[in-house]
Structures are given as structure tokens and as C-alpha cells.
């Protein structure tokens, strides 16, 4: 996207608030008009002070009252301008932030998995804040600056065109300065925004994995990497600030040239030709200062606008990412028959690296299907495809007889309850976290689910029981406690089918035995998929799929697979070998 396209897109967010735009324009015009009226009154007042003992005090007093009135009017409209521009900026970016969040919510999981979460957070928070600052500066200082330049030049031409011509001749120098600063700062601010995103992403990674960093003594290496990214940000930050810092001295230099030229030419005209009074010359000198001052402000605004444009480019880049294909027109899955079929399914996370190859599975209603195999063989990938977090490259998956691509994703996912090895809890009460999938659940139902998951005991010991507020990501609970709450969440929803991905990996053996009994109860009559590394937990499975290198190399019941003496037997026996003494 070039700058013109970005500005057009930003304008679409401003367009719904035309009332605030109109109020900003009117306030800017009236504020500038009041400001420009004061120098004329000052010049006229000076002309009534002709010498010692010869001052028209009554007339000067009238002009002083008018000057006071114009200052008051200018202040009032400057306040309304600030009010309107603030409202406009905050409403526009509020809508942008909501759209960005909603869009990220609809992006494919593949995009979220492949992009640094910290960078996405930076785009949603600080980048949009910079856009807000750009809109504020653009509608306040930029508007008043342009109106001041145009109004001042018009009045000077009307009063004394010869002196105004001097100002016009020097104006291109101001434009050159502004163009030079904008051209060189644009690239630096864009690179600075990208570096800020990388720094945010890396910081988020290190904070999230703080325990691992400390456990492996990686602090120094993490610090070095952080400093490398920070040094890049420093380099582009210094360069961007250097170019933007040229604004003030360069424009002040131009200001002084204009002021001196107006003073000299005006004095010559007043002395030689007598066509300019001292008051008029004073008015011109004030206008000369007012005329060049907006160039200083505008070039400062350009710096803010360059930053806003760079940030908007990053925000729109996310918004332009294609969403998951719409399925609003698709039907619901209908009656849950509890059958799942993988028909010659092939899939790879990248086109050049296929993972699953020609997978065929037929899971009948109420059966317990276990998926085992070494790390990276594609166990979790099968679940991702089943839930349509990713779509297959070829082949077809059918749930209850319906191809998963022919029904709504929400309807498909509603058929399954998932308990993963990686727990997720949000900042809220224990009760709210358990009832995440059923907001209408009663307290009795929530407590019953917690008891079934063997979580009621530790919940009762918390400071406020079920009303205890859990910190972000469950930071004030142990890993095992967090997993028990996630299991209680599934116990409460009681979905037609279950997916358990190492669901008890962080729980002690005694509690695990109890939960396995609870799972056995809840799995009665439900089709269940279980990913397990501890093969002792899936010996009673109706069907065990043994995977290796993206293929199902064996399938059958536990005893059948042991009798075959294949890869499953190797896996099973490797977990029960004891060292000989």
C-alpha cells in the first residue's frame, strides 16, 4: 500500500463522524480568523499613538477591547477544535481497533500460529494509538496551520501587495524544508515501527517463558538478543528523530529570513514612499511571524503523520489477511451420530513438506479411539483437521456422515469437547472459567462438574472458593490445578464427542486414576479420541491407531497389536523396561 491508499482507508474510518469533521473545520476557521484579526487591531492602535502627549486613549481603549474580544473568541473556538478532534480521533480508532480484533478472531489458525503474538498485540495497542495521535495532529495543527497561512497571505496581499510578494517569493524555501524532512523521515519511521513490533514479539515470548528462561540459565543470551533488536530500534529511532529534529532549526531559519525581509522592505516603503504607516508595518511584522510559524508546526505534524502512516500500514496489513472462508450459508451438522471418518486424507503445514499421507480411519459411535506414536508423527495434526482448525490438502473428513467442509465450523466444533495438554484460563473467577462453555449453568451444576473432575477439594480451600479471581493464564494456580479446571469445564458441557490430548499429563498419579474413572463415565456412549504417550492409559481403547512419519502403520486393540509384535509392541515395552541389577 502506498501513502495515498492508506490515507483513503483512514478517511473511511473518519467519514461516519462528519459532524465532528464539520465542527473541526468551522472551529479552525473561526479560531484562525480571530487570531488574524488581532494584528490589524494592534496596527491601528499603534497609528493612534503618534507621539508624546498626542495619544488617542479613547480610540486605543476601543481597539484594546476588540483585541481582548478576538483573543477570547479565538480561545473558545480553539477549545471546541480540540474537543471535536479528540472525539473524532478516539471514535475513529475505537472502530478500527474493534474491527482489527474481530478480524484477528476470524483469521485462520495458521496465521496466528505463524506470527509473533507480541507483534500482533503491538499493532493493536501502540500502533493504533499512534494513528490516533496522527489524526489529532492532522485535524488540529494541520488545519489551523493551513488556514493561518492562507488567511495571512490573503490579508497581506490586500494591505500591501509589494511586501506580500516578498513573503511569497521566500515561501518555496519553507516548502523545500518540509519536503526534505518528510521524505527522509518516512522510511525511518516505517523501519522504526517494524523494529518496535519485533521487540514487542520477543518481549512477549521471554515473559511468557520466563520460568524456562530462568531454568536453563538463558538470561544472558536473552538479554543479548533483546539488545540486538533494541539496537536496531535505537538506530532507526535516532535517524528518524534526527531528520524530524531538523524541522525546528530549519524552519526557524526560514522564519527569520521572512521576518527580516518583511521588516527591511516594509521600512523602505514606509520611509521612501510613505505608503505604509508604522502601525501597518507592525501588522506586517506580526503577520510575517504568524505566516512562517505554521510551517514549523506543519513540518512537526508531518513527523507525527509519517509515524501514523507507518503504523496504519502495519495495521492494514493484518486486516488484509484473508479470513477463514465464510460458512454462514452452510447448514448445521444436524443429529450427532457419533461417527468419524478419515477418507484418504493428506495434509502438510507447508506445501513442500507433507505430514499426513493417505490417512484412513473409521470411528463408530461410542467407541474409544486412541492415537499413539512418537513426537511429530501427526497425532495432534489429526485433531486440528478434525476440528477444522486447518483444512485438508486432499481427501475428506466426515463427522456424523457429513463432510466437515459442508457444515458450519461452529456446529462442527460444538460436537466436541477438548481437553489439551496446554491449559488456558482467563482472568476471572473460578466459576466463570468452569462455565466458559455453558454460561447458563447453575451453581449446583458447576460444583457437580468440579467434583467429577476432582477439583472441588482445592477450590474449596481457595480464599473465596468459586469466587476466587484467577490471575491471567492461571498464574496463581499450579499446572495441575489449572488442568483440573479445564477438565471440569468439559465435565460441565458434556459434549457428544470428546478429544483428550494428554489431558492428565500434569496431574499426580492418584488423582489421574480418579479422573480416568470420571472420564470413563463421561465417555460412555460418546465417541472419544485420546492422544496419549503413556500407553497404560489406553489399554481398554476400542481402536488404537499407531502413527509414524505421518502414516498409520498399525491399528487394532491393545492385545491384538501386542501379538503382532510390531512398532506398537516396541513402544509399549519401552515404557515398562526396568534396569537390571
In this prediction, residue 396 carries a pLDDT of: 92
Domain(s) of CATH 3.40.50.300: residues in the chain:
327-415+496-581
Grid cell listed for 287 = 503577520
Look at residue 464 in the predicted model and tell me its pLDDT. Answer: 87
- pTM comes to 0.68
The fold for domain 327-415+496-581 equals Rossmann fold (3.40.50)
pLDDT tens digits in sequence order for the chain, 581 residues long: 678 888 888 888 888 988 888 998 898 889 888 888 888 888 888 888 866 667 778 888 888 898 888 889 988 998 998 888 888 888 988 899 999 988 888 888 778 877 777 778 888 888 888 888 888 877 777 888 888 888 888 888 888 888 888 878 877 777 777 667 766 776 777 788 778 778 877 887 787 677 667 766 777 888 888 888 888 888 888 887 787 777 667 777 777 887 788 888 888 887 877 777 888 888 888 887 777 677 767 766 777 787 788 888 889 988 988 887 777 788 888 777 888 999 999 988 887 788 888 888 888 888 889 888 888 788 888 888 888 888 888 999 999 888 988 888 888 888 888 887 777 788 888 898 888 878 888 889 999 988 888 888 888 988 888 898 887 666 678 777 888 888 888 888 888 888 888 766 666 777 677 677 777 777 777 888 888 777 877 888 888 898 888 888 888 888 888 888 888 888 888 876 543 33
The SS3 of residue 503 is: coil
Give yes or no for a contact between 550 and 357, defined as CB atoms under 8 angstroms apart. Answer: yes
Query: Strands across the sheet with 402-403, in order?
Result: 356-363, 340-347, 394-399, 402-403
Write out the H or E segment, with its range, that includes residue 166.
helix 161-208
Domain with CATH 1.20.1560.10 in the chain: 3-319
Distance of CA 349 to the CA centre of its chain: 25
What residue ranges in 235-355 does DSSP mark as E strands?
340-347
Rg (CA), the chain: 36
Decide if 531 contacts 501 (C-beta within 8 A): yes
Quick one: how many helices (H) and strands (E) in the chain? 21, 12
The predicted pLDDT at position 215 comes to 67
pLDDT at res. 579? 36
Class of domain 3-319: mainly alpha
Instruction: Quote the pLDDT of residue 375.
Output: 80
Q: What is the bridge-based pairing of β-strands 394-399 and 402-403?
A: antiparallel
Instruction: Please give the torsion angle defined by the CA atoms of residues 50, 56, 62 and 67, in that order, rounded to the nearest 10 degrees.
Output: 20
Contact 288, 262 (CB under 8 A): yes
Q: Which of 345, 376, 378 is nearest to 359 (CA)?
A: 345
Residue 347, number of CB atoms within 10 A of its CB: 21
Amino acid at each position: 500500500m502506498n501513502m495515498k491508499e492508506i490515507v483513503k482507508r483512514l478517511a473511511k474510518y473518519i467519514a461516519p463522524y462528519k459532524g465532528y469533521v464539520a465542527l473541526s473545520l468551522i472551529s479552525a476557521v473561526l479560531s484562525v480568523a480571530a487570531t488574524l484579526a488581532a494584528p490589524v487591531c494592534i496596527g491601528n492602535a499603534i497609528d493612534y499613538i503618534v507621539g508624546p502627549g498626542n495619544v488617542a486613549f479613547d480610540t486605543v481603549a476601543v481597539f484594546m477591547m476588540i483585541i481582548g474580544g478576538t483573543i477570547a473568541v479565538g480561545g473558545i473556538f480553539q477549545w471546541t477544535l480540540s474537543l471535536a478532534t479528540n472525539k473524532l480521533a478516539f471514535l475513529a480508532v475505537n472502530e478500527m481497533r474493534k474491527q482489527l480484533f474481530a478480524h484477528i478472531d476470524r483469521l485462520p489458525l495458521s496465521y496466528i500460529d505463524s506470527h509473533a503474538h507480541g507483534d500482533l498485540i503491538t499493532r493493536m495497542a501502540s500502533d493504533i494509538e499512534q494513528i490516533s495521535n496522527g489524526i489529532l495532529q492532522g485535524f488540529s495543527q494541520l488545519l489551523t496551520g493551513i488556514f493561518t497561512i492562507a488567511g495571512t497571505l490573503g490579508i497581506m496581499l490586500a494591505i500591501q501587495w509589494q511586501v506580500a510578494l516578498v513573503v511569497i517569493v521566500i515561501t518555496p524555501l519553507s516548502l523545500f524544508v518540509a519536503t526534505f524532512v518528510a521524505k527522509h523521515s518516512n522510511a525511518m519511521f516505517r523501519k522504526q515501527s517494524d523494529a518496535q513490533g519485533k521487540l514487542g514479539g520477543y518481549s512477549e515470548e521471554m515473559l511468557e517463558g520466563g520460568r524456562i528462561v530462568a531454568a536453563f540459565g538463558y538470561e544472558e543470551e536473552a538479554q543479548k538478543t533483546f539488545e540486538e533488536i533494541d539496537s536496531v530500534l535505537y538506530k532507526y529511532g535516532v535517524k528518524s528523530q534526527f531528520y524530524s529534529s531538523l524541522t525546528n532549526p530549519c524552519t526557524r531559519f526560514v522564519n527569520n529570513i521572512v521576518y527580516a525581509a518583511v521588516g527591511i522592505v516594509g521600512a523602505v516603503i514606509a520611509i521612501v514612499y510613505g505608503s505604509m504607516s508604522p502601525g501597518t508595518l507592525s501588522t506586517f511584522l506580526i503577520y510575517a511571524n504568524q505566516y512562517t510559524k505554521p510551517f514549523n508546526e506543519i513540518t512537526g505534524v508531518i513527523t507525527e503523520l509519517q509515524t501514523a502512516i507507518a503504523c496504519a500500514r502495519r495495521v492494514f496489513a493484518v486486516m488484509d489477511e484473508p479470513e477463514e472462508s465464510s460458512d454462514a450459508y452452510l447448514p448445521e451438522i444436524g443429529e450427532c451420530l457419533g461417527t468419524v471418518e478419515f477418507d484418504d486424507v493428506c495434509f502438510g503445514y507447508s506445501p513442500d513438506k507433507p505430514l499426513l499421507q493417505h490417512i484412513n480411519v473409521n470411528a463408530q459411535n461410542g467407541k474409544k479411539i486412541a492415537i499413539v506414536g512418537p513426537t511429530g508423527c501427526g497425532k495432534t495434526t489429526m485433531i486440528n483437521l478434525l476440528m477444522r482448525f486447518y483444512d485438508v490438502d486432499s481427501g475428506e473428513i466426515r463427522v456424523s456422515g457429513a463432510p466437515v467442509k459442508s457444515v458450519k465450523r461452529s456446529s462442527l466444533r460444538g460436537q466436541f469437547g477438548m481437553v489439551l495438554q496446554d491449559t488456558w484460563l482467563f482472568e476471572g473467577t473460578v466459576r466463570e472459567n468452569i462455565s466458559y462453555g455453558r454460561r447458563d449453568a447453575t451453581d449446583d451444576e458447576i460444583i457437580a462438574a468440579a467434583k467429577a473432575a476432582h477439583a472441588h477439594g482445592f477450590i474449596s480451600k481457595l480464599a473465596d472458593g468459586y469466587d476466587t479471581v484467577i490471575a491471567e493464564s492461571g498464574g496463581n494456580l499450579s499446572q495441575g490445578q489449572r488442568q483440573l479446571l479445564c477438565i471440569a469445564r468439559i465435565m460441565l458441557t458434556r459434549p457428544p464427542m470428546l478429544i483428550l490430548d494428554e489431558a492428565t499429563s500434569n496431574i499426580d498419579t492418584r488423582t489421574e486414576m480418579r479422573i480416568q474413572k470420571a472420564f470413563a463415565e463421561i465417555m460412555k456412549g460418546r465417541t472419544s479420541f485420546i492422544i496419549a504417550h503413556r500407553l497404560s492409559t489406553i489399554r481398554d481403547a476400542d481402536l488404537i491407531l499407531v502413527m509414524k512419519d505421518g502414516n498409520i502403520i498399525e491399528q487394532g486393540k491393545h492385545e491384538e497389536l501386542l501379538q503382532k509384535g510390531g512398532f506398537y509392541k516396541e513402544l509399549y515395552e519401552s515404557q515398562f523396561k526396568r534396569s537390571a541389577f
